[in-house]
Structure formats: C-alpha cells, structure tokens
C-alpha cells in the first residue's frame, strides 16, 4: 500500500502542470544566465487556495507567494513558483522538482515521514461549509452525509477517518468542491477557514458552521536531505516574524475584523 501511494505520488508530481508563473513583483520569468546570477528558489504550490495562493491575472499572489518572495530575497535568490495539484507537492519536494512546498500546508506526522517542515508561520483551522438551509448544525451531524474535500488535504484525511471512505468525495480544488456543494452533489465541504471564508463570501446561499473542526499549523516543506536550506529558511523566517513582515503580509490579505 505504501509503495503504491509513493508511485501514485510520483506519477502525480510528473503530471504536474508545468506552468511556471512569474512571482509577484517579479517580471523576470527566466533567471539571468551568468556566473553570478542569483540562484533560483523553486516553490511548488496549488494556487487555488485564497488568500494563501491564487492566480490574479498571470501571477500567483497571496500570503504564501509574498512570504516566499521575502524569503528568497533574504537568501539572495530569485523566486520561481510552479502551480501543481496539491497532492503532488510533497513528492515534488521529495524528488527535488521544487525546493520548497509552500501551500497553506499543514504539518502532519504522515508528511513528516517524507519531508521536513520549517517552523510554523500561520495557523489553519478546518471548518465546515454547508448550504444556508442545511440541517447540519455541528460536525457530528456529518455522519451519514456526503462530504466534499480537496484531494490529499488534511480535510480529506479527517473526513475519511471520522466518517468513512464512502462519505467522502474528492475534488482537485477547494473551489470545485464548493461548486459541488452548490449543485447538491455533496452535503458539506471540509476545508481550511480562510479559503472557506473567501468561498462563502463569493457565493450566495452558503454558510460556515461555528464549530472549529481541527486546528493546525502551516509550515514550509523542504526535502529531508536539504537541511542547509531548511536552516536558512528557519533563520530568515524568524527574522521576518521578528520585524513584523509576516504579520504585515497576513494583515494585508486577512484584514482584522
Ligand atoms: N491545510 C491543508 C493541508 O495541508 C490544505 C492545504 C491546501 N492548500 C492549497 N494550496 N491548496 O492539507
């Protein structure tokens, strides 16, 4: 089973969209050739996860994209972002297709078997989206219902563990899961709170349950054998936290109510 999962993960990584976007504020698409051209920090993400990462025009923007831009700057590198399926990010990091996975990604024991994680830079909360007139009032009411999730996310894992394989319908992106909720293909969607808020705001007829399902930490995934990069990232991250840069980026995308 483990090997099967691994093979699938590698296949997914290979099948990843090879669309490389210029990162925010960076119009140079290709790194400059030459002896002292700055090294490239390759970031893998799934840019359908506002406000952490989403496509605006031709750019990938959002909290993670901006944090990565500052990290690259501190490391004297240029940032290159590749958009891929969320489920392919870990193996892309593992196989050196990208240097970091930065995608509102939760630190889990299972993922720690495959990659290392930086210190956490944000908190995520799994929440439940339901139609406004739903009879689902708490997560317990999800028993016997059909739950839409984004494939290979922690929401997927929790829903499968708590309610069983037959209760879970997997979608490539959070937005497709929400579309399925709107057309009645599923009864609820389990997803991270900030994207959930964005989706509910953008769509009439949906609401969030008050109960928080699971609280988790977001961090940056780095290959296990690349501890040098992990150390540099942790140092840079600590500086960006200490000088308020991270808070500033988060406040820009998630204004305090
Ligand atoms: N926090 C969840 C997880 O790590 C969902 C992350 C989804 N991120 C994304 N960019 N689509 O599994």
Nearest alpha carbon to residue 53 among 65, 69, 71, 68: 65
Q: Quick check: 2 pLDDT over 80? A: no
Which atom of ligand 1 is found nearest the CA of 86? 11
Identify the DSSP state of 142. G
Q: In angstroms, what is the span from residue 184 Cα to ligand 1's centroid?
A: 23
Q: What was the pLDDT predicted at 213?
A: 85
Length of the chain measured in residues: 257
Nearest alpha carbon to residue 81 among 32, 10, 17: 17
Does residue 63 contact residue 192 with C-beta atoms inside 8 Å? no
For ligand 1, whether the C-beta of 171 sits within 6 Å is no
Query: For 184-227, what is each residue's pLDDT tens digit?
Result: 999 999 999 999 999 999 999 999 999 888 999 999 999 999 99
Q: Quick check: 81 pLDDT over 80? A: yes
Pick the CATH number of 40-121+219-253 from 3.40.50.300, 3.30.540.10, 3.40.190.10, 1.25.40.10: 3.40.190.10
Nearest alpha carbon to residue 80 among 96, 95, 65, 62: 65
Question: Reduced to 3 states, what is the DSSP secondary structure of residue 117?
Answer: strand
For ligand 1, whether the C-beta of 53 sits within 6 Å is yes
For ligand 1, whether the C-beta of 192 sits within 6 Å is yes
Q: Quick check: 18 pLDDT over 70? A: no
Best of 105, 158, 175 for a ligand 1 pocket test (most atoms within 8 Å of beta carbon):
105
Q: Quick check: 12 pLDDT over 60? A: no
Query: For 221-238, what is each residue's pLDDT tens digit?
Result: 999 999 999 999 999 999
More confident residue, 255 or 117: 117
Q: What was the pLDDT predicted at 34?
A: 52
Instruction: Write the secondary structure of 54-115 as one string of H (helix), E (strand) and C (coil).
Output: EEECCEEECHHHHHHHHHHHHCCCEEEEEECCHHHHHHHHHCCCCCEECCCCECCHHHHCCE
Give the integer Cα–Cα distance in Å for 209 and 212. Answer: 8
Strand partners, 170: 149
Identify the DSSP state of 24. T
Structure pTM?
0.86
Q: Which two tokens stand for residue 93?
A: 């990091």
For ligand 1, whether the C-beta of 106 sits within 6 Å is yes
Nearest alpha carbon to residue 88 among 41, 36, 27, 153: 153
Nearest alpha carbon to residue 181 among 245, 243, 235, 131: 131
Q: In angstroms, what is the span from residue 33 Cα to ligand 1's centroid?
A: 34
Q: Do domains 40-121+219-253 and 124-216 have the same CATH topology?
A: yes
For ligand 1, whether the C-beta of 153 sits within 6 Å is yes
Q: Quick check: 31 pLDDT over 60? A: no
Q: Quick check: 6 pLDDT over 70? A: no
State the fold for domain 124-216.
D-Maltodextrin-Binding Protein; domain 2 (3.40.190)
Does residue 24 contact residue 60 with C-beta atoms inside 8 Å? yes
Q: What was the pLDDT predicted at 15?
A: 44
- Residue 7, CA distances (Å) to 12, 45, 100, 173 in order: 9, 20, 20, 22
Which atom of ligand 1 is found nearest the CA of 153? 12
The proportion of the chain whose per-residue pLDDT surpasses 90, expressed as a percent, equals 83
As a dihedral over the C-alpha atoms of residue 8, residue 13, residue 14, residue 20, rounded to 10 degrees, the angle is 160
Which atom of ligand 1 is found nearest the CA of 45? 10
Range with lowest mean pLDDT among 56-65, 98-107, 192-201, 208-217: 208-217
Domains of the chain: which residue ranges?
A: 40-121+219-253, 124-216
On average, the pLDDT of the chain sits at 89
Does residue 150 contact residue 171 with C-beta atoms inside 8 Å? yes
């Amino acid at each position: 089973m483990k090997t099967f999962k691994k093979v699938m993960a590698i296949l997914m990584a290979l099948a990843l969209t090879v669309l490389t976007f210029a990162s925010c504020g960076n119009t140079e698409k290709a790194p400059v050739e030459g002896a002292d051209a700055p090294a490239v920090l390759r970031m893998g993400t799934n840019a359908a996860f506002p406000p952490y990462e989403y496509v605006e025009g031709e750019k990938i923007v959002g909290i993670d994209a901006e944090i990565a831009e500052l990290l690259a700057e501190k490391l004297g590198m240029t940032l290159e972002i590749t958009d891929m399926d969320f489920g392919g990010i870990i193996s892309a990091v593992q196989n050196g297709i990208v240097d970091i996975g930065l995608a509102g990604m939760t630190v889990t024991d299972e993922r720690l078997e495959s990659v290392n994680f930086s210190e956490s830079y944000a908190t995520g909360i799994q929440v439940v989206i339901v139609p406004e007139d739903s009879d689902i009032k708490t997560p317990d009411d999800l028993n016997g219902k059909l739950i839409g999730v984004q494939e290979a996310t922690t929401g997927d894992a929790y829903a499968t563990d708590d309610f069983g394989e037959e209760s879970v319908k997997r979608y490539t992106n959070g937005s497709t899961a929400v579309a399925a909720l709107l057309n009645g293909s599923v009864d609820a969607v389990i997803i991270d709170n900030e994207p959930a808020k964005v989706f509910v705001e953008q769509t009439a007829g949906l609401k969030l349950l008050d109960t928080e399902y699971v609280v988790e930490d977001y961090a940056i995934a780095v290959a296990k054998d690349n501890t040098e990069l992990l150390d540099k990232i942790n140092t840079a991250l600590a500086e960006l936290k200490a000088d308020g840069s991270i808070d500033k980026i988060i406040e820009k995308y998630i204004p305090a109510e």
